Amino acid sequence: MIVVGEEETRERLEFGALVEAIRDAFKGGIESPAKHQHYVEVPGEPEGKIMMMPAWRSGDYVCVKLVNMFPGNADRGMPAVSGIVILFDGRTGEVLAQVDGGEVTARRTAAASALAADYLARKDSKMHLVVGTGRVAWNLIFAHRAVRSLEKTFIWGRNYDKARAMAADAMKLGANVEAVEDVEAATRGSDIISCATFSADPIVFGDWLQEGAHLDLVGGYRLEVRETDDTSVRRATVFCDTLGGAPKAAGDLTQPIASGILKFEELHDLYALVGGSHPGRTSDDEITMFKSVGASLEDFAAAVLIYEQVAKEKP
């Protein structure tokens, strides 16, 4: 059995290759049932969430991710997400690899957003805003650069010092990144806006979106929380990662569907974009919105990508 730790997982999941692996996964052939999840009470803090996410391709591989999400870890300076991904042989059930689940989750989540942006963001997009200062937010800076030639990324967070520190770290890696204190101004000046927060209430508002903007919502994963408002939904053509997941789990979709602002039939997902049944962006002034909650086939794609790299290197 191969064991791949956090640092090696990060190194082997290069965003260009990971985006393409996830694109291939959405072409079909992988069984990806709904995640099994429970909420865990944490005294004096937001509830934690435990999930089991399986996926398999018949006769090939079976992948299972066990992952925890504890928002209160932000105050401890710890990642909110931790877990493991186990890859099995699809014919024998043999354990092939154990991979760091927190890093897989962060990178495949960002890569799925980048994949969506490849169909939904304007080809000439140059300015990018990341709202949030956690691990997924960090990865979104670089994932979107795998599909668009971005000139600059702005970072906004409730803690400006954390945003400034993240921007400095990203600059050391060659990205042009600036921390900002005015989220409205940064939204109005950005072509792509990515939100990766645990906010309960909207942070980015539809009136702020310029024509042609692409709104990328990652963080809100519960029915009662929103990262954007109804105006964004009204103005945008709305997409999600999977029709079987996000419209049932994320307040940014469930609430406007329940109120009649958005019809389920108007939603399209990555299967439709990758498969070609929906063309994606249709004009330069169209506003697009993508909402993700994660899908196990993304973990499958990441785990197989890592395993096959390592297996080739073994004597």
CATH number, residue 306 = 3.30.1780.10
Q: Are residues 142 and 278 in the same domain?
A: yes
Q: Are 241 and 112 in contact (CB under 8 A)?
A: yes
In the chain, which stretches have pLDDT less than 50? none
Within a domain: 251: yes
Say how far apart CA 53 and CA 65 lie, in whole Å: 5
Q: Within this chain, do residues 246 and 172 fall inside the same structural domain, yes or no?
A: yes
The Cα-based distances of 124 to 80, 107, 173, 232, 285 in angstroms read 34, 24, 23, 22, 12
pLDDT for the residue 63: 98
What pLDDT was estimated at residue 81?
87
Q: Are residues 216 and 303 in the same domain?
A: no
Tally of structural domains, the chain: 2
Within a domain: 29:
yes
Position 222 scores a pLDDT of 86
Residue 109 domain flag: no
Are 68 and 302 spatial neighbours (Cβ–Cβ below 8 Å)? no
Interior angle at CA 17, CA 212 and CA 187, nearest 5: 25
Alpha-carbon distance of 285 to 294, in angstroms, equals 28
CATH of the domain at 232: 3.40.50.720
Looking at the domain assignment, is residue 110 inside a domain?
no
* pLDDT for the residue numbered 8: 97
Q: What is the pLDDT of residue 216?
A: 98
Mark whether 22 and 131 lie in a shared domain. no
Record the pTM: 0.95
Do 183 and 255 have their domain in common? yes
